[in-house]
Amino acid sequence: MLRRRLGRTLLYIFLISTSLMMAYPLLFAFAAGLTGTEDYYQSTWFPAPTEIHLDKWAAFLGRDDLRLWVANTIFRAGWYVVIPAVISVLCGYVFTVPRFKGRDAVFMLMLASMMVPGIVYVLPTFIMLARWPLVGGNDIYGQGGHGFINTWGALLIPGLINAFYIFLMRQSYQSIPRDYEEAARVDGANTLQIIWNVYVPLLRPALTVLVIFQFVAVWNDYLNPLVFAGGNEAIAPVALGAQRFIFSTSQNTRAGLIDYPTMFAVATLVTLPIVILFLLLQRYFVQGVAGFGLKG
Amino acid sequence: MDTYPLTRRERIAQYLARNRRAVEAWLILTPILIYYFVFAVFPVLANLSVSFLDWNGFNEPAWAGLANYERFFTNPRYQQVLLMTVFFAVAILIVNTVLGFFIALALNEQVKGLGIYRTLWYVPTLTSAAVMAQIATVFIAPRVGVTSVVLASLGLESPIWQTNIDFARLIIVVFSVWRSVGTAMLLFLAGLQSIPLDVIDAARVDGAAGWRMLRHITLPLLRPMTVFVLVTGLIAAFQVFEPVYLITNGKSGTNVMMLKIYDDAFQNGRFGMAAAMATVMLVVLLWASFLNLRLMGQTSAEQQ
Amino acid sequence: MRRINSLTAVLLILTALIPAAAVAQDEVTLVIWGEPGTADCINNPDDNADNAACIYAQFVNDTWSEANPGVALKWENQSWDEELRQNLTTAILGGTAPDITVGENFIPSLAQRGVLAKLDLPQEVKDNLVPGTVMGATVGEDLYGVAAFSGVFGLEVNADVLRAAGLDPDAVDLSTWESAAEVMAQVTEAGKGEYYGVTLLGSTGNPAATLFRAAPYIHQMNADFCNRDEGCTEPTLNDPLAVPVYEWFRTMYANADPNLTFHGDEGYIYSQLYTGASAMQTDGAWGIGRAEANNCNDCRYYPLPYPAEGRRANVVVGNAIYSVLDASDHVEEAQRFLEWLVSDPVQITSFWSTGRLPTTFSALQKVIEVANGDTSSVPEFYFEQLGHTKEEAIEFAKTYSGFLDELLNGEVYILPQWAVEGSEMNRLWDEMFTEILTSDRPIEEILDEYQAMGEEIMANAE
């Protein structure tokens, strides 16, 4: 019994210390954002503010276009949650339930795209979007205008299929007994009705994973908005806006003088929403993640 | 049954009725596949064809055959980059998997406040690369950076990453792990929690405990999850880019393939070379994932 | 190598190279990828209401629009440096490039690939440009851009630190390496680890930052990083003339706080002078504004010290070159805009609003006249909007006079414009510089070693 209690104590010491180490960089960023510039430079291993400075937070939160950046990001995140969710729920069904020739081959083909290094897509996608016929001033041959570049199209069209989620949905479908579907068929439901009424409720954990992963990806996405729509400030997301905010508050960008407390305040504020989202959805998320390890 | 010849329309109707599910499946799949070919397959093919060209982006492309690939495999600078990429991939993958597994194991011991620990370990994966790089740059600064302060308190000299290759590489691994180990932990934890309690109890009745329980019960049951962690972890670890680009910028012997591809394409205007490297990476990833799946499949077959 | 039929290769990518067909329009809009600060001022005026530097940006935008009703300007902030270059490459391939782009260190490599339009300026306008500011826009005899504003390096000195070390700031001689080294050594000795003789930038994530501060000294000895006549394809890292330069850097390193040199954050490193931790540093003209922001009591500015056996030389920095893209449908209007950017009113507004240096002889001359007491060329806004007095204007011009003189009379160079492998070569140089500072191996040996590596990189780049 004593041995067991000692074991538990050691376990907690281990867990608490390692968890604090993981959290330390973020706590550092959080505290640094509340610290006055002078205090910050005096601090050593932790920027403990002698007095809480909320002005850095206020400067970023008070920015007029912050609301626009947030709205843009949420809109785009919503799109990249809903469409991939629909696609992967449909594909997951198709690759699991009906039997037809070529099913597994098509599935493998789609799965292979998971191994493609992301950088491969940047240039071809840009050129396709820029030369898309009959949009953005382009003629039927795709010449003459800018296509989707610097428009919402460029930020909403590419990357809607993600093999990872199709794989995830397929795993989840496989764990659901077919009896439910059979019963619904007997009641006269068609395939789309069955997917929506029978499967989707049971896919909730996997869908939560999709929501969190996609939301985080879009929220943090800096490269795509910069390359595909960097010239249109009206559709800039938070990631781009935050970077530009830090840039413009640095007194002289060429000299690289960064105001660290401002930078960390922005970093904290930009990270907070996704942490909150994670906390809200945590329970389903963990259930959904469990689906990864089912035998495929 | 009457054997009067069916009209064309009737034959189609009959086929549709017989293969209703397959037709439905293809109706769903077709638009998705069209999109998939345009936005996922075509870029890969375009990349493949550019990899056989000598092209700076602005000139008339010239056919280069396998010259880009040959250069990649014979030029010492590229070899070093390849080697470094493999080193980072393996190091990050091993640390992530082992650390993630043991943390998950510890958390699975019915600890109080599980949600808090889990959150603390997972939240770093939610941060953006820019935030990670900002923190890293401040942490590794000599004298005033946290690393220095901690080392100094232990009576050690503070390393300077620009002059200390091992330290530079360690930083890349540490911050990559910081930002990705949470995923491995969460996956293993979910896997552990889905092991049915009666299996554990039965094993316990048979006298299994500690290491034997781990070796003979937990690990085999976790195999599918382990495969998943290894395959997705490998894909991510091979593509390590942001910590290198944003923290050391490839200096002090930390250059990796993704950064080299980026440099060759956007800074050096060598699109053929960049495309060839991307193709090599694609092949390596496909091969490694395939191998991984097969190895794990084999061992699980032996077990059964 | 065999040329291939473009149809069989990458059909889609090639179509992108066909220049976009001209669309007939009454009103011309010039899309400008501007220097980020300028673009931000124009697009977000509300956030920049009290930013004096925005007066320049607004002046450029408004004055041009009034005088040229048919030619509108659309400013875009497409970042700077590597990100800007990445976006530009992508946009050129996709056929969505702007009419005008800014750039600092990649204009020649784009010009050589035929991406930029040759600039056709009247001879008297051309002759008025300070050669160093357009060196980074010149290929052979051809000009591909003009610099909207520029900068050079000088020696920034915190006189209080000198006083603390028992020296008289008015009497010390900082004109040569030898005399400056002596002062540094005295300060370092007196500082006993509290403060140091000099601040040095060792190496950060950005190799160009370090290269910038080393290049002036390299040119003072008439050495170089590459053979520029050959289009910078041959590295000359082991130039024997460069050996004393690196010895000078070792001397400075011995008088610098070693932990600070490799701190890794440029901004932090250069702000230590204002806290009294260091007596001097190589800094750009922007240091003047920064010293003020950091409440430096008595910061002074001198030309860079130079070697007894060398000469005065400098490099341009923060040199914002604007170029016209060849694919633009409005090359003529765009060139007219560039010509206007280097006209006196724009150049003078830039200096008095942002403190960044003019790039033409005539504008430099006018600013120097202010330092000599003639304030007639100072724009109205300096007094009315910014509330300064004539005395302050004279004082302002005087503070900058060392920098202005360097542009007007000195030998001014640009960073090496490597034909290929620019980032790799700069990275290599940066590693070499670190090795020189932190090891005691003979400099010649290190230079030879890195020269061999550089040659290998360039040989394999063909």
pLDDT digits (tens, 9 = 90+) for A259-274: 788 889 999 999 999 9
> Is the residue at B181 inside a domain?
yes
> Is the residue at B237 inside a domain?
yes
Facing residues of B166 across strands? none
Chain C nearest CA to B115, separation (Å): 37
**Cβ(C146)–Cβ(C129) below 8 Å:** yes
Q: Which of A106-110, B57-61, C157-161 has the highest mean pLDDT?
A: C157-161
Q: State whether A115 and B235 contact (CB < 8 Å).
A: yes
Question: What mean pLDDT is predicted for residues C58-62?
Answer: 94
B26-35 pLDDT, tens digit each: 999 999 999 9
Chain A nearest CA to B55, separation (Å): 14
Question: What mean pLDDT is predicted for residues C365-369?
Answer: 95
Q: Are residues B55 and B85 in the same domain?
A: no
Q: Are residues B53 and B199 in the same domain?
A: no
Q: State whether B246 and C205 contact (CB < 8 Å).
A: yes
Q: State whether C23 and A137 contact (CB < 8 Å).
A: yes
Amino acid identity of residue C3, one-letter, is R
Token look-up 């009103």 returns C27
Partners of chain B (3+ Cβ pairs below 8 A):
A, C
The secondary structure element, H or E, covering residue C101 is strand C100-103
Determine the Cα–Cα distance for residues B243 and B89; give it in Å rounded to an integer. 13
Q: Closest partner residue to C267 among A129, A150, A258, by Cβ?
A: A258
Facing residues of C73 across strands? C30
Query: Which pLDDT band holds residue C31 (cuts at 50, 70, 90)?
Result: very high
Q: Which of B13-17, B66-70, C345-349 has the lowest mean pLDDT?
A: B13-17
Determine the Cα–Cα distance for residues B281 and B86; give it in Å rounded to an integer. 11
Put simply, whether B24 touches A (Cβ < 8 Å) is yes
Determine the Cα–Cα distance for residues C196 and C161; give it in Å rounded to an integer. 9
Per-residue model confidence (pLDDT) at position C9: 44
3-state secondary structure labels for all residues of B7-39: CHHHHHHHHHHHCHHHHHHHHHHHHHHHHHHHH
* Structural domain span for residue B98: 75-303
Q: Are residues B174 and B46 in the same domain?
A: no
Q: Are residues B23 and B119 in the same domain?
A: no
- What structural domains does chain C harbor? 24-150+318-398 (3.40.190.10), 153-315+418-461 (3.40.190.10)
Put simply, whether B4 touches A (Cβ < 8 Å) is no
Chain A nearest CA to C266, separation (Å): 6
> Is the residue at B3 inside a domain?
no
Q: Are residues B92 and B163 in the same domain?
A: yes
**Which of A112, A116, A114, A152 minimizes the C-alpha distance to A135?**
A152
Per-residue model confidence (pLDDT) at position B298: 60
Per-residue model confidence (pLDDT) at position B223: 86
Put simply, whether B180 touches C (Cβ < 8 Å) is no
Question: What chain C residue is nearest to A130 in terms of C-alpha separation?
Answer: C94
Chain B nearest CA to C11, separation (Å): 9
Q: State whether A143 and C44 contact (CB < 8 Å).
A: no
DSSP for residue C275: T
Per-residue model confidence (pLDDT) at position A30: 94
Q: Is the ipTM of this complex over 0.85?
A: yes
Q: Are residues B58 and B85 in the same domain?
A: no
**Which of C40, C34, C84, C33 minimizes the C-alpha distance to A63?**
C40
Q: State whether B39 and A112 contact (CB < 8 Å).
A: no
Total tally of structural domains belonging to chain B: 2
Confidence check: pLDDT of A2 > 60:
yes
The residues in B 257-286 lying below 8 A from A, measured between CB atoms, are 258, 261-262, 265, 271, 275, 278, 281-282, 285-286
Q: State whether A255 and C18 contact (CB < 8 Å).
A: no
Per-residue model confidence (pLDDT) at position B3: 59
Determine the Cα–Cα distance for residues B74 and B86; give it in Å rounded to an integer. 17
DSSP for residue C19: P
**How many whole angstroms from its chain centre is CA C24?**
38
Confidence check: pLDDT of C141 > 50:
yes
Confidence check: pLDDT of B293 > 80:
no
Per-residue model confidence (pLDDT) at position C389: 94
Q: State whether B61 and C115 contact (CB < 8 Å).
A: no
Amino acid identity of residue B236, one-letter, is A
Q: State whether B46 and C12 contact (CB < 8 Å).
A: yes
Q: Closest partner residue to C265 among B50, B137, B269, by Cβ?
A: B137
> Is the residue at B190 inside a domain?
yes
Per-residue model confidence (pLDDT) at position C289: 82
Whole-Å CA distances, C135 to A200, B231, C143, C418 = 64, 51, 9, 14
Secondary structure of chain C: what % helix, strand, coil (to 5)?
Answer: 50, 15, 35
Q: Which of the listed residues B18, B43, B63 is the one where a domain comes to its end? A: B63
Residues of C in Cβ contact (< 8 Å) with A61: none
Determine the Cα–Cα distance for residues B271 and B68; give it in Å rounded to an integer. 10
**Which of A87, A84, A158, A154 minimizes the C-alpha distance to A121?**
A158
Q: State whether B191 and A293 contact (CB < 8 Å).
A: yes
Per-residue model confidence (pLDDT) at position C306: 93
Q: State whether B134 and A119 contact (CB < 8 Å).
A: no
Question: What mean pLDDT is predicted for residues C188-202?
Answer: 95
Determine the Cα–Cα distance for residues C223 and B297; give it in Å rounded to an integer. 63
Q: Are residues B137 and B239 in the same domain?
A: yes
Does residue B211 or residue C348 have the better pLDDT?
A: C348
Query: Which pLDDT band holds residue C258 (cuts at 50, 70, 90)?
Result: confident
Chain A nearest CA to C123, separation (Å): 32
Q: Are residues B176 and B246 in the same domain?
A: yes
Q: Closest partner residue to A160 among B35, B182, B191, by Cβ?
A: B35
Determine the Cα–Cα distance for residues C280 and B121; give it in Å rounded to an integer. 45
C268, C325, C424, C432: best mutation site toward chain B, by most B Cβ within 10 Å? C424
Query: Which pLDDT band holds residue C12 (cuts at 50, 70, 90)?
Result: very low
Q: Are residues B146 and B59 in the same domain?
A: no
User: In this complex, how many residue pairs, one in chain B and one in chain C, have their CB atoms less than 8 Å apart?
Assistant: 127
Interstrand relation of C138-139 and C142-143 (parallel, antiparallel or unpaired): antiparallel
- Which tokens hold the place of B59? 């000139």
Q: State chain B's mean pLDDT as an integer.
A: 88
The residues in B 133-172 lying below 8 A from A, measured between CB atoms, are 134-135, 138-139, 144, 146, 149-150
The residues in A 43-72 lying below 8 A from B, measured between CB atoms, are 44-45
Put simply, whether B38 touches A (Cβ < 8 Å) is yes
Chain C nearest CA to B94, separation (Å): 27
Question: What chain A residue is nearest to B43 in terms of C-alpha separation?
Answer: A124
Question: What mean pLDDT is predicted for residues B73-93?
Answer: 92
∠A230-A227-B32 over CA atoms, to 5°?
115
The secondary structure element, H or E, covering residue B52 is none
∠C389-C390-C391 over CA atoms, to 5°?
90
Q: State whether A137 and C46 contact (CB < 8 Å).
A: no
Token look-up 């799109």 returns A79
Chain B nearest CA to C446, separation (Å): 14
Confidence check: pLDDT of C253 > 80:
yes
> Is the residue at B2 inside a domain?
no
C410 CB contacts (<8 Å, ≥6 apart)? Answer: C152, C303, C312, C313, C314
Chain B nearest CA to A69, separation (Å): 16
- Which tokens hold the place of C254? 């011995």
Q: State whether B278 and A117 contact (CB < 8 Å).
A: yes
DSSP for residue C233: -
Put simply, whether A156 touches B (Cβ < 8 Å) is no
B180 CB contacts (<8 Å, ≥6 apart)? Answer: B92, B96, B125, B233, B236, B237
Q: State chain A's mean pLDDT as an integer.
A: 89
Per-residue model confidence (pLDDT) at position A294: 64
Q: Closest partner residue to A244 among C46, C77, C289, by Cβ?
A: C77
Full DSSP string of C285-333 = THHHHHHHHTT-SSEEEEPPPB-TTS--EEE--S--EEEEBTT-TTHHH
Q: State whether A230 and C79 contact (CB < 8 Å).
A: yes
C263-273 pLDDT, tens digit each: 878 888 888 99
Query: Which pLDDT band holds residue C259 (cuts at 50, 70, 90)?
Result: confident
B143 CB contacts (<8 Å, ≥6 apart)? Answer: B158, C257, C259, C260, C263
Determine the Cα–Cα distance for residues A234 and C427; give it in Å rounded to an integer. 37
| Exposed/middle/buried for residue A284 (C-beta within 10 Å: 0-12, 13-18, 19+) | middle
Determine the Cα–Cα distance for residues A75 and C113; give it in Å rounded to an integer. 40
Does residue A114 or residue B93 have the better pLDDT?
A: B93
Per-residue model confidence (pLDDT) at position A252: 42
| Exposed/middle/buried for residue A200 (C-beta within 10 Å: 0-12, 13-18, 19+) | middle
Does residue A26 or residue B203 have the better pLDDT?
A: A26
Partners of chain A (3+ Cβ pairs below 8 A):
B, C
Amino acid identity of residue C160, one-letter, is D
Question: What mean pLDDT is predicted for residues B89-118?
Answer: 93
Per-residue model confidence (pLDDT) at position A244: 82
C38-48 pLDDT, tens digit each: 888 898 887 77
Amino acid identity of residue A288, one-letter, is G
Determine the Cα–Cα distance for residues C106 and B22; give it in Å rounded to an integer. 56
Q: State whether C94 and A149 contact (CB < 8 Å).
A: yes
Does residue A141 or residue A92 have the better pLDDT?
A: A92
Residues of B in Cβ contact (< 8 Å) with C205: 137, 246-249, 251
Question: What mean pLDDT is predicted for residues A212-231?
Answer: 93
Q: Are residues B59 and B80 in the same domain?
A: no
**How many whole angstroms from its chain centre is CA C22?**
35
A153-178 pLDDT, tens digit each: 999 999 999 999 999 899 889 888 98
Torsional sign, CA C289, C293, C298, C299: negative
Residues of A in Cβ contact (< 8 Å) with B224: 293-296
Question: What mean pLDDT is predicted for residues C388-405?
Answer: 93
Q: For residue B284, what is the domain's CATH number?
A: 1.10.3720.10
Per-residue model confidence (pLDDT) at position B201: 82
Does residue C327 or residue B144 have the better pLDDT?
A: C327
Determine the Cα–Cα distance for residues A121 and A114; give it in Å rounded to an integer. 12
Confidence check: pLDDT of C133 > 60:
yes
- What structural domains does chain A harbor? 17-53 (no CATH), 66-293 (1.10.3720.10)
Per-residue model confidence (pLDDT) at position C3: 42
Rounded percentage of chain A residues whose pLDDT exceeds 90: 55
| Exposed/middle/buried for residue C294 (C-beta within 10 Å: 0-12, 13-18, 19+) | middle
Query: Which pLDDT band holds residue A106 (cuts at 50, 70, 90)?
Result: very high
Q: Are residues B58 and B156 in the same domain?
A: no
Residues of A in Cβ contact (< 8 Å) with B135: 25-26, 28-29, 267
Q: Closest partner residue to B126 among A110, A160, A216, by Cβ?
A: A216
Confidence check: pLDDT of C56 > 80:
yes
Residues of B in Cβ contact (< 8 Å) with C14: 61
- Which tokens hold the place of C204? 């950060």
Full DSSP string of A55-110 = HHHHHHHT-TTHHHHHHHHHHHHHHHHHHHHHHHHHHHHHTTSS--TTHHHHHHHH
**Cβ(C104)–Cβ(C422) below 8 Å:** no
B217-229 pLDDT, tens digit each: 888 888 888 988 9
> Is the residue at B92 inside a domain?
yes
Q: Are residues B39 and B175 in the same domain?
A: no
Determine the Cα–Cα distance for residues B43 and B86; give it in Å rounded to an integer. 25
Residues of B in Cβ contact (< 8 Å) with A178: none
Per-residue model confidence (pLDDT) at position B297: 64
A119, A166, A221, A281: best mutation site toward chain B, by most B Cβ within 10 Å? A119
Per-residue model confidence (pLDDT) at position A256: 45
Q: Closest partner residue to B58 among C2, C113, C434, by Cβ?
A: C113
Query: Which pLDDT band holds residue A63 (cuts at 50, 70, 90)?
Result: confident
**How many whole angstroms from its chain centre is CA A220?**
7
Confidence check: pLDDT of B5 > 90:
no
Query: Which pLDDT band holds residue B2 (cuts at 50, 70, 90)?
Result: low
Query: Which pLDDT band holds residue C5 (cuts at 50, 70, 90)?
Result: very low
**How many whole angstroms from its chain centre is CA C325?**
22
**Which of A267, A270, A260, A271 minimizes the C-alpha distance to A36?**
A260
Q: State whether B141 and C113 contact (CB < 8 Å).
A: no
Determine the Cα–Cα distance for residues B239 and B260; give it in Å rounded to an integer. 11
Whole-Å CA distances, B299 to A294, B38, B224, B295, B304 = 17, 38, 11, 6, 9
